[in-house]
């Protein structure tokens, strides 16, 4: 009887032990299933990082913007002042030089326009221009901008015409003081180098008065081969 | 009565064993709160650094452009007039 009772107790203890082990095993398995995985932890970490990243970036952006705006403003002002002054000075000088050249050109044009020289359009200046007294003179560098032909010199009054040296020599030989007087007499005449419809019609009274022989040679003296072919 | 107490004790032991085993199986996992806190700190630091750099860069550029344009115009006109007077 006692042996049966002892066996019953052993069996009961075994059942109890098995039950406890079963409960523990099931609990362990359930706990392991419920255990947080590394992937979910990483996801939570990334989510939290993303949220705080945006907030921190926004606030820090404004602070950094305000902090560096002043420095950038100062640097830009300095650089802009330097560059603007340099370029503005260059542009101003160029404009001033251009204005000076324009003024000179206008003055020259006005001087040329005020001189009693007028030619028709398309008037050829390659040939000599007949002047008073049977002379034929070539337009000088004051009008054409080119050098006088050989054996002739530009007149003293602006080089409007090219006076043959033969005439100069003849005037000197005739007692006329010089070329200045010669040209001065031509300019001081009533017509001077006056504008006519056909071209330069200088009376050349001083020249023609020096001698008819000079005047007779005038047509042959004025070669006018190198003169310009343009009209002023 | 004795058998009832004995059975009750066995039930308690089984529950204790189950709870203990459950906690033991779950305990070696990652801590979500700790992960969240670490991610927030790292994100804040990284965002602050990036935002500060970007803000500084953009702020400097914006200030530079504004100052340059205004100063350039003024200086250019002034220098142009001065050079033109001479």
The top-scoring range by mean pLDDT among A42-56, A101-115, A170-184 is A42-56
Nearest to A181 by CA among A203, A155, A142: A155
| Bridge partners, residue A202, by sequence | A193
- Tell whether A98 is within 8 A of chain B (Cβ): no
Report yes or no for ipTM above 0.95.
no
Cα–Cα distance for residue pair A144/A152, rounded to 1 Å: 15
Q: Could you tell me which chain B residue has the CA closest to the CA of A19?
A: B14
- Tell whether B5 is within 8 A of chain A (Cβ): no
Q: State yes or no: pLDDT of A193 exceeds 70.
A: no
SS3 (DSSP) at A195:
strand
More confident residue, A139 or B8: B8
Question: Would you say A46 and B38 are in contact if contact means Cβ atoms under 8 Å apart?
Answer: no
Q: Tokens representing A155?
A: 């007149």
Cβ separation B55–A63 shorter than 8 A: yes
- Using a 10 angstrom Cβ sphere, with 0-12 exposed, 13-18 middle and 19 or more buried, the burial of residue B56 is buried
Range name among A15-24, A143-152, A210-219 with the lowest pLDDT average: A210-219
Q: State yes or no: pLDDT of B63 exceeds 80.
A: yes
- Tell whether B21 is within 8 A of chain A (Cβ): yes
Strands (E), chain A: 129-130, 136-139, 152-154, 161-164, 193-195, 200-202
Count CB-CB contacts under 10 A for residue A221. 22
Cα–Cα distance for residue pair A166/A141, rounded to 1 Å: 19
Q: Is A145 left (phi over 0), alpha (psi -120 to 50) or beta?
A: left
- Tell whether B12 is within 8 A of chain A (Cβ): no
Range name among A134-148, A197-211, B69-83 with the lowest pLDDT average: A197-211
Q: State yes or no: pLDDT of A156 exceeds 70.
A: yes
- Tell whether B36 is within 8 A of chain A (Cβ): yes
- Tell whether B3 is within 8 A of chain A (Cβ): no
Q: Tokens representing B64?
A: 């530079």
Range name among A141-150, B39-48, B54-63 with the lowest pLDDT average: A141-150
The average pLDDT across A154-164 equals: 77
Q: Which of B27, B75, B77, B81 to mutate to test the interface with A (most CBs of A within 10 A)?
A: B75
Note the pLDDT of residue A168: 77
Count CB-CB contacts under 10 A for residue A210. 22
| pLDDT, averaged across chain A | 72
Q: Which of B40, B49, B50 to mutate to test the interface with A (most CBs of A within 10 A)?
A: B40
Question: Would you say A84 and B75 are in contact if contact means Cβ atoms under 8 Å apart?
Answer: yes
Cα–Cα distance for residue pair A6/A9, rounded to 1 Å: 5
Cα–Cα distance for residue pair A33/A24, rounded to 1 Å: 14
- Tell whether A21 is within 8 A of chain B (Cβ): yes
Question: Would you say B62 and A68 are in contact if contact means Cβ atoms under 8 Å apart?
Answer: no
Residue with tokens 């001033």: A96
Q: Which of B17, B43, B64 sits opposite A48 (nearest CB)?
A: B43
- Tell whether B2 is within 8 A of chain A (Cβ): no
The average pLDDT across A183-190 equals: 39
Range name among A158-172, B16-30, B48-62 with the lowest pLDDT average: A158-172
Question: Would you say A20 and B14 are in contact if contact means Cβ atoms under 8 Å apart?
Answer: yes
Note the pLDDT of residue B12: 92
pLDDT tens for A88-145 read 999 999 998 888 888 888 887 777 766 666 666 666 555 566 666 666 677 788 777 7
Distance of CA B42 to the CA centre of its chain: 5
Q: Which of A44, A55, A85 sits opposite B75 (nearest CB)?
A: A85
More confident residue, B24 or A215: B24
Q: Which of B20, B57, B76 sits opposite A88 (nearest CB)?
A: B76
Question: Would you say A68 and B55 are in contact if contact means Cβ atoms under 8 Å apart?
Answer: yes
Count CB-CB contacts under 10 A for residue A12. 12
Q: Which of B18, B25, B74 sits opposite A32 (nearest CB)?
A: B25
């Amino acid at each position: 009887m006692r042996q049966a009772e002892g066996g019953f107790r052993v069996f009961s203890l075994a059942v109890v032990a098995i039950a406890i082990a079963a409960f523990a095993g099931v609990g362990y398995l359930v706990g392991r299933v419920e255990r947080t995985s590394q992937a979910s932890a990483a996801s939570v970490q990334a989510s939290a990082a993303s949220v705080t990243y945006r907030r921190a970036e926004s606030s820090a952006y404004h602070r950094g913007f305000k902090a560096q705006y002043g420095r950038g403003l100062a640097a830009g002002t300095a650089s802009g002042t330097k560059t603007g002054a340099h370029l503005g000075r260059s542009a101003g000088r160029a404009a001033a030089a251009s204005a000076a050249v324009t003024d000179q050109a206008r003055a020259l044009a006005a001087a040329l326009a005020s001189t009693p020289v007028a030619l028709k359009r398309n008037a050829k200046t390659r040939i000599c221009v007949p002047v008073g007294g049977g002379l034929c003179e070539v337009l000088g560098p004051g009008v054409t901008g080119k050098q006088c032909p050989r054996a002739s010199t530009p007149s003293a009054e602006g080089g409007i015409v090219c006076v043959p040296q033969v005439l100069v020599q003849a005037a000197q030989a005739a007692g006329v003081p010089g070329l200045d007087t010669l040209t001065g007499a031509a300019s001081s005449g009533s017509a001077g180098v006056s504008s006519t419809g056909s071209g330069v019609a200088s009376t050349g009274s001083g020249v023609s008065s020096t001698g008819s022989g000079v005047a007779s040679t005038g047509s042959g003296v004025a070669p006018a081969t190198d003169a310009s072919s343009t009209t002023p | 009565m004795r058998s009832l107490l004995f059975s009750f004790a066995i039930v308690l032991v089984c529950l204790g064993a189950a709870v203990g085993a459950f906690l033991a199986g779950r305990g070696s996992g990652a801590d979500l709160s700790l992960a969240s806190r670490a991610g927030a700190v790292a994100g804040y630091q990284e965002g602050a650094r990036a935002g500060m750099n970007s803000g500084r860069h953009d702020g400097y550029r914006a200030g530079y452009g504004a100052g340059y344009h205004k100063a350039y115009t003024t200086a250019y006109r002034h220098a142009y007039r001065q050079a033109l007077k001479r």
